[in-house]
Amino acid sequence: MMKGKKKLRISFVFLISAMVLALVQVRCKHDGLDVSTLDKVCYQRDIEPIFRNSCGITGCHGQQRGESEYVFTDYSSIMKAITPGNASKSKAYQAITGKGFAQLMPPAGALTQSERVLIRVWIDQGAVQTTCN
């Protein structure tokens, strides 16, 4: 009777371990977000105000560049820090998520999670300069 319980316990532990491993492997694929199924993010309405207000006009990336090589006050300047279709390779996205930078940007206070996600989706959708109503 004892051997049966021990086998059952080992099988149960093995099953749970296998399930956890499977879940971890699935969760690691979050970077493969399929943005084609999401509504198009509008640059003018959704993205430009975030960059201008948080980084450009009131931040360190205005026309008077300061210490940074990047300016975030208009589309063509913002695009110097963007890799269309690939947020993880975009300097702007890396900065606002703290990946590869000593300090999370903007230094006065991080963007909200929804702002970071919106920027990521916009970049992954091609970082198009759209105008919306």
- Region of residue 132 (phi > 0: left; psi between -120 and 50: alpha; otherwise: beta): beta
Instruction: For residue 10, tell me if it sits in a domain.
Output: no
pLDDT exceeds 80 at position 48: yes
Task: For residues 102-128, give the mean pLDDT.
Answer: 88
pLDDT exceeds 80 at position 24: no
Instruction: For residue 98, tell me if it sits in a domain.
Output: yes
Burial 66-99 (b: 16+ CB within 10 A, else e): eeeebbbbeeebbeebbbeeebeebbbbbbbbee
Task: Give the structural domain span for 116.
Answer: 36-124
DSSP state of 79: G
Using alpha carbons, list the distances in angstroms from residue 19 to 10, 13, 27, 29, 31. Answer: 14, 10, 12, 16, 21
pLDDT band (50, 70, 90) for residue 69: confident
Instruction: For residue 86, tell me if it sits in a domain.
Output: yes
Predicted local confidence at residue 2, as pLDDT = 56
Predicted local confidence at residue 88, as pLDDT = 92
pLDDT exceeds 70 at position 82: yes
Kindly state the percentage of the chain with pLDDT values over 90.
33
* Whole-number Å distance between alpha carbons of 65 and 68: 6
Helix ranges, the chain (H): 2-27, 48-51, 75-78, 91-97, 113-124
pLDDT exceeds 90 at position 34: no
What is the reported pTM? 0.69
Task: For residues 8-19, give the mean pLDDT.
Answer: 47
Instruction: For residue 81, tell me if it sits in a domain.
Output: yes
* Whole-number Å distance between alpha carbons of 121 and 24: 23
Instruction: For residue 55, tell me if it sits in a domain.
Output: yes
The number of folded domains in the chain is 1
Q: What is the chain's percent helix, strand, coil content, to nearest 5?
A: 60, 0, 40
Predicted local confidence at residue 59, as pLDDT = 66
Predicted local confidence at residue 67, as pLDDT = 58
